[in-house]
Amino acid sequence: MTIIKRNRMQGRMKTVICYFLSVFCCTACSLDIPYENQFSDPDAITTPHTARELLATAYNSLPNPDFELAVLGDDFVPTYLINRNANLNNLYKWQPQPIEDLSLSLWKDYYATIAIVNAVLERVDGISVTTEREKLQLQCIISEGKILKAYCYFNLLRLFAPDYGDGAEKDGIILKDQFKLGFLKRSSIEECVKAIRTMLTEATEVDNNPAEIYWFSQISGYYLWAMLELYSRNYDQAIIYAGKVMEAKGGYDVLGESVYSKFWGNEACAERIFSLFTTNSYYKDINYDRNKGDHLTLNSALLNLYSEGDIRYERTVYPLEMAGETGGVVIANCLGKYNKMNWEKKEIQYIHKFRVAGACFILAEAYCKDGKEHDAQAIEVMNNYLAQRRATLVDTQLTGDQLLKAILQEKWKEFAGEGERYFDLKRYRKSILTGWNSNMKDKRVEKDDYRWTFPIPKAEYLYNENVSQNEGWTKIENN
């Protein structure tokens, strides 16, 4: 998309947003007003063009908690500067209040996105199309809307519900599938998984391959489907859909150095599957200021895992001169990636969500866990990936938990600072990753700690007695 076209799209998006905000302001401006009541004009969407514009506002509403989730995980260790940022320091230490604050923000933003998608999907039947091109455009909009909604539900489920392995019958999230007010209860985790699977089944029936990677495509639908099946321990299906992604992207060649060198920049890159487009500042909270340095640096336990020549190291680690706590200058191993771009005053255009490397890890883990003696296939996937990253290959004799540890270790190295590690810790904190924080004195979080599941915000349950609070978190009663 050219800059001129992008600016035009942003201008139209702002017009649509302003209209809906004007409706909202005429009713109320409170978190206690459900998002389904914020938009009301059925005549606002009359063509595929206006439907696309409103769907673009849904993409624009998506939250980006990658940094905060990385802070909760074991990617970082604090510098002395973190003491000057109480909220970040408390989040790093898993104090309840910043987790509650983060929960409120994420719940609000994900459900705001869902509300906009519902507005689009409920109005498309009223759009008349006269050409095959318009018909295809509308089909793609519906497909993207369902994937976008599934994406929101899946992330809400991973954050606000216990892990699937802790009990699929436990409370999941609220499935808000209609554009209207409803006092709904939380569906079970299994019911949520089935609902997300249905959305993805319907969405991926459409052969949608947009030119830009910041619209959901059929391939990104398969990627999300593979993630869902891995999460729900349906390993055979995870293998199928991760395999579809790998086939569509041409296999392992897109993981090589010539392609990866473009990934953490603004050039087109064949490894990307879905990235959010942004013109706003991103990942700035890691930095204290440009004179002293960052609040957090990379965990040495992670850095020591990279082998010489591993191309991931150069993109992950940014050696930076920082002011020492007692004076002088020290060389700190700060995060590269988005942080390096900020330090070098380079515009961040892509916030990466799905990439081919991620499909490799889904495929390898599913092979390792499927109980069908597919360790050799898991090793083959990993070593094809690692060869492209110029990293040390996995020992071909590894099996079972030792192989799974190796897979998760390589995944940690690939996604450092991107928040993905948090979800692996939540899934495996009771087994092979139980000692993840043993050398982190400020992260005394036990494997059965209630904070692994985010709290349901007060604004959601206060006026809806059908909504339960997660175990361990306070539920304020409405007297």
Predicted local distance difference test score (pLDDT) of residue 182: 66
Q: Note whether 1-66+94-208+458-479 and 213-417 share their fold.
A: yes
Residues 6+ apart with CB under 8 A from 7: none
> Which of 99, 22, 9 has the alpha carbon at shortest distance from 57?
9
Instruction: Give the model confidence (pLDDT) of 241-265 as tens digits.
Output: 999 999 999 999 999 999 999 999 9
CA distance 351 to 417: 12
The predicted structure's pLDDT at residue 180: 54
Q: What is the CA radius of gyration of the chain?
A: 22
- Region at 167 (left for phi over 0; alpha for psi -120 to 50; beta for the rest): left
φ/ψ of 355, rounded to 5, equals -145, 165
Average pLDDT, the chain: 91
The Cα 443–Cα 95 span in angstroms is: 10
pLDDT given at position 178: 60
Burial profile 364-395: b = 16 or more Cβ within 10 angstroms, e = fewer? bbbbbbbeeebbebbbbbbbbbbebbbbeebe
Report phi then psi at 319, rounded to 5. -65, 125
Report the distance separating Cα 437 and Cα 93, nearest Å: 11
Residues of the chain with pLDDT under 70: 1-43, 178-182, 479
For the CA atoms of 81, 85, 89, 91, the dihedral, rounded to the nearest 10 degrees, stands at -140
Phi, psi of 334 (to 5 degrees): -85, 165
Q: Does domain 1-66+94-208+458-479 have CATH number 1.25.40.890?
A: yes
Q: What DSSP character marks residue 325? A: T
Rounded alpha-carbon distances, angstroms, from residue 444 to 89, 288, 413: 14, 25, 23
φ and ψ at residue 58, rounded to 5 degrees: -65, -45
72-118: pLDDT as tens digits: 999 999 999 999 999 999 999 999 999 999 999 999 999 999 999 99
For the chain, which residues make up each domain, given as ranges?
1-66+94-208+458-479, 213-417
pLDDT for position 476: 86
Cβ–Cβ < 8 Å for 206, 139: yes
DSSP code for 304: T
Three-state secondary structure string covering 414-453: HCCCCCHHHHHHHHHCCCCCCCCCCCCCCCCCCCCCHHHC
pLDDT for the residue numbered 477: 80
Which numeric CATH code is attached to 213-417?
Answer: 1.25.40.390
> Nearest 5°: phi and psi at 247?
-65, -45
How far is the C-alpha of 441 from the C-alpha of 444, rounded, in Å?
7
pLDDT of residue 183: 81
CA distances to 145, 249, 292, 365, 379 from 360, in Å: 26, 12, 38, 9, 11
Euclidean distance between CA atoms 41 and 420, whole angstroms: 38
